[in-house]
Amino acid sequence: MANTESSINPFETAKQQIDIVADLIGINDGTREVLKHPKRELTVNFPVRMDDGSYRVFTGHRVQYNMARGPCKGGIRYHPQVSLDEVRALAAWMTWKCAVVNIPYGGAKGGVICDPKHMSKGELERLTRRYTSEISSIIGPEMDIPAPDVYTDSQTMSWIMDTYSMQKGYSVPGVVTGKPLSLGGSEGRGEATGRGCAYVIRESAKDLGLRVKNGTVAIQGFGNAGSVAANILAEEQGAKIVAVSDSKGGIYKADGFNPRAVEEHKRKTGSVVGFPGAKAISNEEVLETQADILIPAALENQITKKNADKIRAKIVAEAANGPTLPEADTVLFQKKITVLPDILANAGGVTVSYFEWAQDIQGFFWPLAEVNNRLERVMVQSYNDVHKVATERKVHNRTAAYVLAIQRVVDAIRIRGIYP
Ligand code: NAD
């Protein structure tokens, strides 16, 4: 995926993070090596018949990073800049994310190098079905369960489910998550990331003695994760959403927006920009807004050495993956800003994916209230677990989340032992 700092190899970053934690908690060299290698990688080159009758060969990857704690879980992305190292890094991060929220999964990720914006629905369907077929020997409800990621959605998951099921000869809904309800999707999955983020914000605010009710919130990226977090913070916790943005720009209103009305405006016009009664602001200004809570919910690498000093929020809750660069982390920590790191703050999505899989393999489906109650329990527990490590070790929450996650994976590796 496009990285604004293209010189950064994400897998090198992922390995450095492992070393930092390994030093901190004293992981031996052998285990460290295990943690720094993906368990299994499959690269496939496969032809797809295009609409004009020609054939094109596409390259896809599926990386299963670590399955010590259970079957692997992770999305599939379609993007021209997919690379094996990016997929490896994302698979490692999925491993830690699943471990932070203590769901019984390892981590995986997949990607196909393609430009979905310039492909027809038919071409995407044929690409998806052939890629599924190529990786079908290593996916499955007991082995590796894909999900949507950048430029893949519930339709893509339906094609994967159908292709895998056709090969088996019976329906296997548990092979992927993020499916529509009609195919064994879960209630609440669409809202899960934003909802989970709102729960950890609430818990963190309690610890900090900060009132979310009438507190102010700024959100960069008013898409799925950002808009749902806005709705829940406003409607269930009484917060004032004072600034939001999307790729076209930002808007500000000191006494707060009705986020549902902003959503409606965006649905009608394609952007939050131009919302009646709002002041237009830039995307940078959204990040630097005077607000109690800042939610980066758009892209990676948004809070950098350059702007970290200008962040004025008390809590930064990372709904997006990787919005804060490491050098900015240090600045935020020094400014005593509480960062709720991505592997905790946006883990509501994978948690409800886990619920979807659990429902599929039982063939027994839960009502929305049950999904949300269970999600709340997982997020509150995970927040408390991270906070405890941060307090005990006097480290910031990101390090604490990695310590917690990597320790859980190491415990599983150790107790299982090395085969044979
Ligand atoms: P989305 O496509 O629904 O929304 C992204 C939003 O960001 C859009 O409104 C877009 O206009 C906006 N945006 C793009 N570039 C921007 C820019 N330069 N400045 C401001 N806004 C910009 O995507 P999403 O599913 O909400 O995902 C957002 C982030 O959350 C991503 O980092 C994603 O990896 C992460 N995430 C999402 C989920 C999920 O379940 N949806 C789960 C975990 C993590």
Whether residue 201 is found in the same domain as residue 286: yes
Structure tokens at 334: 């020094």
Please check whether residue 237 lies inside any domain of the structure.
Answer: yes
Please check whether residue 358 lies inside any domain of the structure.
Answer: no
Whether residue 76 is found in the same domain as residue 144: yes
CA 221 – ligand 1 centroid, Å: 6
Q: What is the 3-state secondary structure (H, E, C) of 92-111?
A: HHHHHHHHHCCCCCEEEEEE
Whether residue 250 is found in the same domain as residue 133: no
At 137 the pLDDT is 97
- Examine the fold and report which residue of 316, 345, 374 is the final residue of a domain before the chain moves on: 345
Whether residue 339 is found in the same domain as residue 274: yes
Please check whether residue 20 lies inside any domain of the structure.
Answer: no
Q: Is 249 in the pocket of ligand 1 (CB under 6 A)?
A: no
Whether residue 329 is found in the same domain as residue 196: yes
Half-sphere exposure of 192 (CA within 13 A, CB side): 29
CATH number for the domain that contains residue 51: 3.40.50.10860
Question: What average pLDDT does this structure show over 65-93?
Answer: 97
Please check whether residue 110 lies inside any domain of the structure.
Answer: yes
7 confidence band (pLDDT: 50, 70, 90): low
- Examine the fold and report which residue of 183, 212, 245 is the final residue of a domain before the chain moves on: 183
Structure tokens at 99: 């471990």
At 136 the pLDDT is 98
Nearest residue to 412 (alpha-carbon basis) of 64, 41, 106, 33: 106
Whether residue 49 is found in the same domain as residue 151: yes
Give the separation between CA 330 and CA 396, rounded to whole angstroms. 9
Alpha helices in 60-191 (DSSP H): 84-100, 121-135, 154-168
- Which tens digit of pLDDT belongs to each residue from 325-348? 988 999 999 999 999 999 999 999
Question: What average pLDDT does this structure show over 24-49?
Answer: 97
Please check whether residue 371 lies inside any domain of the structure.
Answer: no
Whether residue 224 is found in the same domain as residue 318: yes
Please check whether residue 415 lies inside any domain of the structure.
Answer: no
- Which tens digit of pLDDT belongs to each residue from 231-287? 999 999 999 999 999 999 999 999 999 999 999 999 999 999 999 999 999 999 999
Q: 73 pLDDT exceeds 80?
A: yes
13 confidence band (pLDDT: 50, 70, 90): confident
Please check whether residue 376 lies inside any domain of the structure.
Answer: no
Probe residue for ligand 1, chosen from 103, 246, 267 as the CB with the greatest number of ligand atoms within 8 Å: 246
Alpha helices in 26-69 (DSSP H): 29-35
Whether residue 232 is found in the same domain as residue 305: yes
Structure tokens at 412: 């599983």
Q: What is the pTM of this model?
A: 0.96
The closest residue, in CA terms, to atom 30 on ligand 1 is: 320
Question: In ligand 1, which atom is closest to the CA atom of 226?
Answer: 26
Q: 6 pLDDT exceeds 70?
A: no
Q: Is 246 in the pocket of ligand 1 (CB under 6 A)?
A: yes
Give the separation between CA 164 and CA 176, rounded to whole angstroms. 10
Query: Mean pLDDT score of the chain, rounded to an integer?
Result: 96
Whether residue 199 is found in the same domain as residue 177: no
- Which tens digit of pLDDT belongs to each residue from 166-191? 999 999 999 999 999 999 999 999 99
Give the Å distances, CA to CA, from 395 to 21, 206, 252, 343, 386: 11, 19, 34, 16, 10
Question: In ligand 1, which atom is closest to the CA atom of 227?
Answer: 26
Please check whether residue 372 lies inside any domain of the structure.
Answer: no
Structure tokens at 45: 């080159």
Q: Is 193 in the pocket of ligand 1 (CB under 6 A)?
A: yes
Whether residue 89 is found in the same domain as residue 156: yes
Yes or no: say if 88 and 14 are a contact pair by the CB < 8 Å rule: yes
CA 49 – ligand 1 centroid, Å: 31
Where would I find the beta strands (DSSP E) of 303-375?
315-317, 338-340
Q: 3 pLDDT exceeds 80?
A: no
Classify each residue of 319-355 as buried b or exposed e, where b means 16 or more C-beta atoms within 10 Å of its C-beta: bbbbbbbeebbebbbeeebbbbbbbbbbbbbbbbbbb
The closest residue, in CA terms, to atom 29 on ligand 1 is: 320
Q: 2 pLDDT exceeds 90?
A: no
At 418 the pLDDT is 93
Structural domain of residue 307, as residue ranges?
A: 192-345
Whether residue 210 is found in the same domain as residue 337: yes
Question: What average pLDDT does this structure show over 293-314?
Answer: 95
CA 26 – ligand 1 centroid, Å: 36
CA 319 – ligand 1 centroid, Å: 8
SS3 state at 13:
helix
CATH number for the domain that contains residue 198: 3.40.50.720
Asked, as a colleague might, if the bond just before 296 is cis with ω within 30 of 0, I would say: no
Whether residue 163 is found in the same domain as residue 249: no
**Catalytic positions, written as ranges:** 109
Q: Is 88 left (phi over 0), alpha (psi -120 to 50) or beta?
A: alpha
- Which tens digit of pLDDT belongs to each residue from 364-418? 999 999 999 999 999 999 999 999 999 999 999 999 999 999 999 999 999 999 9
- Examine the fold and report which residue of 183, 209, 242 is the final residue of a domain before the chain moves on: 183
Question: What average pLDDT does this structure show over 288-317?
Answer: 96
Structurally, the chain folds into a number of domains equal to 2
